[in-house]
Structure 1
Amino acid sequence: MRLPFHLFPIAIALCLSFSLTHTSARFFPNISSIPPSLVPNLTASVPTAWDAFQKFGNCQAGDKVEGLAKLKKYFNYFGYIPNLPSNFTDDFDDDLQSALKTYQKNFNLNVTGELDEPTIQHLVKPRCGNPDIVNGTTTMNSGKPTSSNTSNLHTVAHYSTFPGTPVWPPNRRDLTYAFLPENKLADDVKAVFLRAFERWSAATPLNFSETTSFYTADIKIGFFRGDHGDGEPFDGVLGTLAHAFSPPSGRFHLDLDEDWVITGDISTSSVTSAVDLESVAVHEIGHLLGLGHSSVEEAIMFPTISSRTKKVELASDDVLGIQSLYGANPSYNGTSGSSTPSTQAPETSAAGDHLTSAPRLWGLSALLAVGFLLLSF
């Protein structure tokens, strides 16, 4: 039986509507523009993937507490327990204690090996999805000496790089970036990324320009929800905010479920889930260029950032790190300020990885195929 001709447009529209659901992220021009109807319980705490960690207060070695297995999975994801067995338990064992001590050192906490309150409050903060430790080694808090004679830079650095120190090759200093077409980003959102790129180009010989050719761009930026085909699924509001892969992969993914704010004083917001887009973008671009995480809390490359926080200026540690990879911009004056200032109105990141096909393109093709199959009956 064939579908009546007058129902053809409806069938096609249904296919398209299903395939394009949730391809556009939620952006707000400024914090006051978030409507209450879109964000329920604005002033209440927003449940996150790691809220359950709050109940582990003062746990210590030898304890057994329901849910500790989830904390071990967290530490495995970020590299602190590299070889987690498939049958891991809720026991506070030696692996968990060792992971805690390393985590506490990396984040400048008292190294107790216990789940004390300061450690728990740090564990539940939103953060980058890139691991702090790759292949079992960490250099976040190694205190590397530097040879810089610049008076405004620290003499000890805590930046890190990816294993093997991958960088963009010398013949690629003018890099292009593009946005996933399905996200349909407005110009004011794209302008946030332009400002973020400019902060890194101010300190280095690198230049960045937007192109409309997504699949041939050096850097490919997309907003995704949940499992999006790269082995690093997002987890909803807060939790992991974004991740990016080391050179020359160029993959830069952000969580579609966040409440992204474009401009304005985000610190005054009563919306507990508000995330400053430029702050996250500047951090992830550091990964795209070859930097790992830093233990300097003021640094852009520090792994965590609380909601309702804006941090976009490169710190001395960031500058030391990026200039160790690419050298200095001869015109650099010690600040990373964008020429267009804002006004009120993620072995997961290995070098050489290639872009996986966007899941929504496959979904679109499949659903259209089903739709046209229906038309043939």
Structure 2
Amino acid sequence: MALKNSPILGLQSFLLLVVMFMLPSLLFTKPNGEPFSFLENLQGSHQGQKLEGVCKLKRYLEKFGYLQYNDHSTHANDEEFDDQLESAVKVYQLNYGLNETGTLDSRTMEMMLRPRCGVPDIINGTTRMRSGKMKRHQPGPLSFHIAPQFAFFKRRQKWPYTLTKASLTYRFRSSVEVIDLQTLRPVIAQAFAKWAFVIPFTFSEAQESQTHWNITIGFHKLDHGDRHAFDGPGGILAHAFAPTIGWFHYDADENWSPNPNTNQIDLESIAAHEIGHVLGLEHSAIPEAVMYGLFSAGEQKRELHSDDILGIRTLYGLDR
């Protein structure tokens, strides 16, 4: 027997249509505001205080490798600025050449609020990133130099390599179209060329007929299936994975440009940095290095620093 029309069925149908219409926006809503803006309310905070937002600070430092509570800790999810958090802040300050106060002073806040690479500074509890401060090299009033600050992934992962040549291929695969390939191709080729100039690698785009390639480059939003979700505009700009995974992802929610103004992020500078990760380098503590993990809108850092060059050549055994 056919169902008769009823007000209840009509209302249910209407509500179902409303939910179906709203579902995409519910699933893909961007976070409100800048992802790191919560830090602004914590300036001056220190050990012993209880403040709203401290829990988010713990998540921030945990995300970038500075903090790891054990399973039995009572402070992992509370708002207390405890001893372990103070120690984590001090390590962050050490890595970025700041005074190691353990307090969220204005200089520390300035650094933490900057957009950055999503690759942690500390991986598996081990930091190979060190302060980029000037260090004494030999006796004498002018005998200072910048010590090497490059770092490798813990197991020194790298691509298979011989002393003759290594050839890696890449392909573009995005879930969101942000920059057309005609614009993106020369930018990426130029970034690869900077690394190819200092190590005997060749990098070329894979042909569409090829079923295997080494490096995948693309734009993605929020949770995009690699267990390292992006966070909307600001915050994390991009991330990449150690050899030989070969994934390099831009955050599609950023304001990207091949020729950035003061409100845009430079495509090539970020590509040069993430390619460094793809090849096996971690973050450097030298602000002028391509492998430095923090960025600013409008900044262009497309040329490899001597620290980047020494790091990649050391990793591949070229400076023995």
Q: Quickly name the TM-score band, shorter chain normalised.
A: 0.7 to 0.9
- Deviation of 1:82 (Å): 2.5
CA 1:217 to 1:111, structure 2 compared with 1: closer, same or farther past 3 Å?
same
Look up the match of 2:78: 89
Note the C-alpha offset of 1:125.
0.4
Deviations 1:76-118 (A, max 9, x none): 0100013365852110001110110000000011110000000
Aligned-partner residue type, residue 201 of structure 1:
A
Alignment TM-score, normalising by the size of structure 2: 0.79
1:324 aligns with 2:314: yes
Distance 1:142 1:305, change over 3 A: closer
For these two proteins, the number of residue pairs brought into alignment is: 271
- Distance in structure 1 (CA, Å) of the matches to 2:57 and 2:70: 12
Among 49, 54, 69, which residue is 1:63 paired with?
Answer: 49
Alignment partner of 1:110 out of 88, 94, 99: 99
**CA contact under 8 A between 1:161 and 1:290: conserved in structure 2?**
yes
Q: Is the 8 A contact 1:205 1:326 kept in 2?
A: no
- What is the deviation of 1:189? 1.3
Matched residue type, 2:282 = G
Distance 2:221 2:175 in 1: 13
What TM-score do the two structures reach when normalised by structure 1? 0.68
d(CA) in 2 for partners of 1:251, 1:167: 14
Mapping for residues 272-291 of structure 1, pairs under 5 Å: 274-291=264-281
Distance 2:112 2:265 in 1: 17
Question: Of 303, 309, 315, which aligns to 2:293?
Answer: 303
Unaligned runs of 5+ in 1: 1-17, 23-45, 146-153, 330-377
Q: Is the 8 A contact 2:175 2:220 kept in 1?
A: no
In the alignment, the residues of structure 2 paired with residue 84 and residue 117 of structure 1 have an alpha-carbon distance, to the nearest angstrom, of: 30
Instruction: Report what 2:303 is aligned to.
Output: 313
1:49 partnered with 2:35: yes
Cα distance in 1 for residues equivalent to 2:39 and 2:125 = 24
1:122 alignment partner in structure 2: 111
4+ aligned runs moved over 3 Å, structure 1: 83-87, 181-185, 212-215
1:168 aligned to 2:164?
Answer: no
Larger Rg: 2
Query: Following the alignment from structure 1 to structure 2, what is the Cα–Cα distance between the partners of residues 311 and 83?
Result: 36
Provide the secondary structure at the position in 2 that maps to 1:282.
helix
- Which residue number in structure 1 is paired with residue 254 of structure 2? 258
* Alpha-carbon distance between aligned partners in 2 of 1:105 and 1:137, rounded to the nearest angstrom: 14
1:205 to 184, 190, 200: 200
Amino acid paired to 2:251: D
Partner of 2:241: 245
CA distance in 1, matches of 2:38, 2:225: 27
Closer, same or farther: CA 177–291 of 1 in aligned 2, 3 Å: same
- Contact persistence 1:224–1:254 (CA under 8 A): yes
> Given that residues 76 and 84 in structure 1 are in contact (C-alpha distance below 8 angstroms), is that contact kept between their aligned partners in structure 2?
no
Q: Distance in 1 between matches of 2:174 and 2:48?
A: 51
Identity over aligned pairs, percent: 42
1:215 deviates by 5.8
Are the structure 2 counterparts of residues 233 and 119 from structure 1 closer, same or farther at C-alpha, using a change threshold of 3 Å? same
The amino acid across from 2:243 in the alignment is P
2:135 aligned with 1:139:
no
Relative contact order (C-alpha < 8 Å, sep 6+): which is higher? 1
CA distance in 2, matches of 1:141, 1:215: 41
Distance in 2 between the 1:307 and 1:84 partners?
Answer: 37
Q: How does 1:146-161 map to 2 (within 5 A)?
A: 156-161=147-152
Unaligned runs of 5+ in 2: 1-23, 136-144
Cα deviations by residue, 1:179-222 (Å, 9 ceiling, x for unpaired)? 00655632121111111000100111111001134862100011
Letter in 2 for 1:158: Q
Helix, strand or coil at the partner of 1:175: strand
Aligned-residue CA RMSD (Å): 2.3
Distance in structure 1 (CA, Å) of the matches to 2:65 and 2:254: 24
User: What letter matches 1:241 in structure 2?
Assistant: L
| Counterpart check, 1:292 vs 2:282 | yes
SS of 2:59's equivalent? helix
